[in-house]
Amino acid sequence: MNSHKTWPDNWHSEFVHPDKQYKSTSLKVEKVLYSGESEFQKISVVMTSSYGRALLLDRVLVKTERDSWLYNEMMGFLPLGMINEPRDVLIIGGGDGGVAGEILKHPTVEKVVILERDQRVVDISMRYFEDSGVTIRDSRVEVVVGDPLLVTQRRKDKFDVVIVDMFADMRSPAHKVVAAELLHGLQYILKPDGVICYQQPSPLVNDTALREQMRMFRRYYPSVGYAVNIAPTLPQGSVGYALMSPQEGVDFSVPKQGFGVEEARKLGLRCYNTEVHQGSFMCVPSIVRDMVSEGHPDTPSTEGAPPISGNKKHIYSVQSMFSRQQSAGDK
């Protein structure tokens, strides 16, 4: 995870590597609007001079008013484009409502479930970001608060698309175990022709983490693809997206449901369209293609994971293995 320096001389800076502070992205902070701490993390909202309001979790930038739509659109529409008439979407993480807000623009989506471990992220986002409030109050959105591992095991409904909108530090043994158990559990709530989209590190900065995650994905899913796009406020300047399917031979560069430039504009999309979808997979440097095409070494075992059972509720309030492993010195 990126290291950071928060507000010395009214600047927020994040560095690419925690131990090698040679490159950073900095935003001028005009005012601190909120600063507090939940049982999981520190939460801050600041007003920046050029990117509007910004949300920080454990002092890591996760949302700005000016450019978060770039990431959110791609995170939502890359997997949506691989499904004919998608209707049901699950977002793991994403308590700020950013990805959900973009997904709601899709004409056939009927239900979006946001599975967020931290209720405070949802509350603070709704209080300080107008778009978050509009999205989370939408009748098509269901917010579930709890441990993603336990909640996904308890749900009986199936999803066309599952989006993992959270960072997994593959240098951490605990995070590797959590990621492996989550991938294992998602197989039970994904429809047979469904697609998973998993947030990925920048390829040329975090190449070791990228290789490890792609190997892990291939253990659970026969079709895995990798796309990349710009992300101006991240220290790396780019972000990756891994797509997975339980079906064999899926070419993720060819969307099943395309949106031309004009059609995408009518939906309110500012980045995604069919050409951008194709280019995100096809216009990947050769060195990155080599990284994401490497072998399939062993990954952490999911033996002993809780059984798939339980009933559906609108709100879960559970705290277990996921929160404990995340807090075990891995941030």
**Which residues carry out catalysis?**
165
Query: What is the C-alpha separation between 257 and 241, in angstroms, rounded?
Result: 18
State how far the alpha carbon of 219 is from the alpha carbons of 79, 183, 298, in Å. 20, 9, 8
Spatial contact of 200 and 240, defined as CB atoms under 8 Å apart: yes
Largest Cα span, the chain = 53
Strand partners, 48: 29
Query: What is the C-alpha separation between 63 and 83, in angstroms, rounded?
Result: 27
Query: What is the C-alpha separation between 234 and 45, in angstroms, rounded?
Result: 17
Which tokens is 36 given?
Answer: 């507090």
Spatial contact of 140 and 110, defined as CB atoms under 8 Å apart: yes
Is 207 in a helix, a strand, or coil?
helix
Query: What is the C-alpha separation between 126 and 267, in angstroms, rounded?
Result: 23
Pairing of strands 111-116, 141-145: parallel
Query: What is the C-alpha separation between 181 and 282, in angstroms, rounded?
Result: 30
Query: What is the C-alpha separation between 7 and 32, in angstroms, rounded?
Result: 9
Query: What is the C-alpha separation between 113 and 90, in angstroms, rounded?
Result: 5
Residue with tokens 């950071």: 4
H or E segment and range at residue 29: strand 24-37
What does the DSSP 8-state code read for residue 307? P
